[in-house]
Structure 1
Amino acid sequence: MPQNRKLGRDSAHRNLMLRNLVTSLFKSGRIQTTEPKAKETRRAAEKMITLAKRGDLHARRQALAYMTEETVVTNLFEEIAPKYQDRNGGYTRIMKLGPRQGDAAEVCILELV
């Protein structure tokens, strides 16, 4: 089983941060973050889209347990997932923007394809 990146946080902080990033991604369609966070967020977001493609009640409840806003889950199941019904993975794109001014961390944009 692949190990998650630690991202300099304890497990509770890391898990909630990833949940918030996934929720923000589905709310706005794109987010700007550092490259390691984007790669971890991509993993979780693609799993959520795969759940939404199933579309049953159990999948909806699993998505509600992970994401922080119910309206975003509704949007995911009714608008986002049908767009990817015939696509097998690869629902997101990472575009690198270069180093950040303050700490030279690699910044990128994570967006839905």
Structure 2
Amino acid sequence: MRHKVNARRFGRETSHRKALFNNLAKSLIRYEMIQTTDTKAKELRRVADRMITLGKRGDLHARRLLLARLGDKELVSKLIDDLAKRDDIAGRQGGYTRIVKIGNRQGDNAPISRISFVGSTLESTEPLRYPEHIRDQFVTEEGAEVEA
């Protein structure tokens, strides 16, 4: 019987599932917007919201818990010093992420969603998602964008 078991398993062992969501959380914190399947985005929302809550606490114990989960000091400091102190997130009691369904994947027709932090837009996350040398390829000398 499945009493009080409310997490999705995704057909993976526990260690694989933990690694999957740790890596998705790292990508979400680094790029502030990622695309994944609907079910993974809904489970990632639980992980990311708990991390933001720890980041809002901001004490040494919370920092160490986040470091144990993320394994990257830069991401931990970005989470505590930048993301958790934004006006859109600091004034909330939960619900720090937004999930937008964007369609189905070409290969297997899996439903795809875009998960992002509240207040993040495509324009504000573009420098994080694309390095400068890639963005320069899409801009001509006159400053007009090239049609891709």
After TM superposition, is the score higher than 0.5? yes
Runs of 4+ in 1 over 6 A off after TM superposition: none
Q: Tell me, in whole angstroms, the C-alpha distance in 1 between the residues paired with 2:18 and 2:28.
A: 15
1:64–1:73 CA contact under 8 A, matched in 2: yes
- Identity level (%): 47
User: Cα distance, 1:63 vs. partner?
Assistant: 0.6
Describe the superposition over 1:71-109 as per-residue Cα deviations: whole angstroms up to 9, x where unpaired.
111100000001122211111100101111111111010
Matched, 1:95 2:129: no
Matches within 5 A, 1:1-113: 1-83=4-86, 84-113=89-118
Q: Which has the larger radius of gyration?
A: 2
Amino acid at match of 1:81: A
Please give the root-mean-square deviation of Cα atoms over the aligned residues, in Å: 1.0
Which secondary structure state, in structure 1, belongs to the residue aligned with residue 82 of structure 2? Answer: helix
User: Cα distance, 1:68 vs. partner?
Assistant: 3.1
Aligned residues: 113
Q: Tell me, in whole angstroms, the C-alpha distance in 2 between the residues paired with 1:67 and 1:34.
A: 21
Q: Tell me, in whole angstroms, the C-alpha distance in 1 between the residues paired with 2:23 and 2:61.
A: 21
Structure having greater relative contact order (Cα 8 Å, sep ≥ 6): 1
* Structure 1: tracts of 5 or more residues without a match: none
Q: Tell me, in whole angstroms, the C-alpha distance in 2 between the residues paired with 1:2 and 1:69.
A: 30
TM-score by length of 1: 0.95
Amino acid at match of 1:64: L
Which secondary structure state, in structure 1, belongs to the residue aligned with residue 109 of structure 2? Answer: coil
Q: Tell me, in whole angstroms, the C-alpha distance in 1 between the residues paired with 2:103 and 2:22.
A: 25
Deviates more, 1:88-97 or 1:61-70: 61-70
User: Cα distance, 1:7 vs. partner?
Assistant: 1.1
Amino acid at match of 1:51: L
Question: Going by fraction, where is strand more abundant, 1 or 2?
Answer: 1
TM-score by length of 2: 0.73
Amino acid at match of 1:111: S
